Amino acid sequence: YGAAYSAKDGSLSLEAVASTQMYCVEEGVMDAEAQFLGALGKVKGYSTANDRLELTDESGKVLMSFTKQ
């Protein structure tokens, strides 16, 4: 995946996300990818704390959370 973005003061703007068009035969993978890309399209903000990145929508609802390992 890849996308141009701008981030400032908790606000995040993503350009069109690029991904491969390869099909995955393992059950559920394509659905998970569609959900992931759909959530990315709704991201409007972010926050970081304690090795965690949270991506949020316009209302501040957490759409995705990532933890540094």
Task: Determine which helix (DSSP H) or strand (DSSP E) holds 10, and give its type and residue range.
Answer: none
Q: How far apart are CA 68 and CA 17, in angstroms?
A: 22
Residue with tokens 């316009």: 58
The pTM of the full predicted model, rounded to 2 decimals, is 0.80
Q: What tens digit of pLDDT does each residue of 3-47 get?
A: 899 999 999 999 888 777 777 778 888 888 889 888 999 999 999
Check pLDDT > 80 for residue 68: yes
The pLDDT assigned to 24 comes to 74
Q: Exposed/middle/buried for 45, CB within 10 Å: 0-12, 13-18, 19+?
A: buried
Q: Report CA-CA distances (Å) from 31 to 23, 27, 64.
A: 11, 8, 16
